[in-house]
Amino acid sequence: MKYIRKLYDWTLRIAAHRHAQPGLFGIAFVESSVFPLPPDLVLIPMCIAERRKAFWFATICTAGSVLGGICAYAIGYFLYDTVGVKIIDFYNLQEQFVKFRDMYNAHGAWIVLAGGFTPIPYKLITIASGVTQMDFVQFALFSIIGRASRFYLVAALLWKFGAPIKDFIEKYLGILTIIFFVVLIGGFVAIKYIS
């Protein structure tokens, strides 16, 4: 727990750094396709350090995440045509993939919305949306709604309750860290059983 405390203190110091905002954008961007940890880990200490900018930080986080999601969609869309189809053919899974694609496209908007707001790893949703060639406008719209809802909710809570939230986090940092990682791992497990 000593290491977690040092990491928490370090993120609070970094949050006030002059490059914190581009860093937040970058982390939100790469989290949508490859980075394993959510941008909340940077957003929360930034909102605590500069409470009056909480909604601006949520905007940066949303923009980075949605643009990263669009890039991940492109990865799924274009790599499927060059690599993915060969894998599907090799395993003779053409019929099963068509059924999966049809199911995803029928309910994909709700999956994107849920993935944008919940701890389900967003990168899996964004890449799957490209692979299944989900309607791009629908994908982008529901990504914006889901991601903005999540990040603005975090920002609103920290803006409203600022110091007490900071005190609460500092008092229960160890247990909150454990809960966070249980929820994160639960998101990966949920994806395994949903797909």
The position carrying tokens 């940077």 is 42
Confidence of residue 12 (pLDDT cuts 50, 70, 90): low
**DSSP letters for 77-99:** HHHIIIIIHHHHHHTT-HHHHHH
Residue 107: pLDDT over 70: yes
CB under 8 Å, gap of 24 or more: what pairs does 162-171 form?
162/48, 162/51, 165/48, 166/48, 169/8, 169/44, 169/48, 170/8
pLDDT of residue 21: 92
Residue 59: pLDDT over 70: yes
**Contact status, residue 10 vs residue 46, Cβ threshold 8 Å:** no
pLDDT digits (tens, 9 = 90+) for 153-186: 889 888 888 767 766 765 665 666 566 666 656 6
| Percent of the chain whose pLDDT exceeds 90 | 20
Q: Which domain does 17 fall in, by range?
A: 2-194
Top-confidence residue, 15 or 192: 15
Say how far apart CA 2 and CA 111 lie, in whole Å.
Answer: 38
Confidence of residue 139 (pLDDT cuts 50, 70, 90): very high
The count of domains in the chain is: 1
Segment 121-137 mean pLDDT: 84
Segment 43-51 mean pLDDT: 85
**Contact status, residue 117 vs residue 150, Cβ threshold 8 Å:** yes
